[in-house]
Amino acid sequence: MPPLVPVSLPATRRFAMPVRVYYQDTDAGGMVFHATYLDFLERARMEWLRSVGWEARRVVAEFSVMFVVRNAALDFVRPAVLDDLLDVSLAVVHAGGAHLELDQRVDRAGEPLVRARVELAFVSLPGHRVARMPGPFRAALADWTGPQPEHSPP
């Protein structure tokens, strides 16, 4: 299988957050357990959504909609280990009316550890039927879809 995720991407605006590695994230192989990276990626997605005003619990209560992960492809390039301070980031690859395709990365001091492509579907509750994102959210996303300078939270 060739690499699932191309390592380069046209320079786009990226959201990044730091994540520390604790014992809970590692396994007896001495490194971060592979499934744990999906947890790290979720944290970055949720903080990014929060940064555009989209808090998950409030959105569910007000709009009866949520994002679900439809598919994910991960390349585990190098292992992270205990005590590492990781840089977990995302960029919007494609924003459709009802889904979102993200490039997500885990790096350590500029060194690539994990490369991921994650597709989210926007669904209504209950029933998880695919829905269209509300206008204000599509507008907020527009800020993240064009090529822009690197961005980190303050």
Footprint of a second copy on this chain (CB under 8 A)?
Answer: 1, 3-4, 20, 22-24, 26-31, 33-36, 38-39, 42-43, 46-47, 50, 55-58, 66, 68-76, 79, 81-83, 101, 117, 119, 128
Q: Is residue 27 annotated as part of the catalytic site, yes or no?
A: yes
Compute the least distance from the CB of residue 7 to a second copy, in Å: 13
Strand, helix or coil for residue 64: coil
Residue whose CB is less far from a second copy, 82 or 142: 82
Residue whose CB is less far from a second copy, 83 or 143: 83
Q: Which two tokens stand for residue 63?
A: 């709009």
Considering the candidates 25, 27, 75, 143, report the single residue annotated as catalytic.
27
**Cα–Cα distance, 63 to 43 (Å, whole number):** 22
Strand partners of residue 48: none
Residue whose CB is less far from a second copy, 73 or 142: 73
Q: Which two tokens stand for residue 17?
A: 């957050």
Contact predicate 153/18, CB 8 Å: no
**Cα–Cα distance, 115 to 102 (Å, whole number):** 11
Compute the least distance from the CB of residue 117 to a second copy, in Å: 7
Residue labelled with tokens 């209950």 = 126
Compute the least distance from the CB of residue 56 to a second copy, in Å: 6
Contact predicate 112/35, CB 8 Å: no
Q: Which residues are part of the catalytic machinery?
A: 27
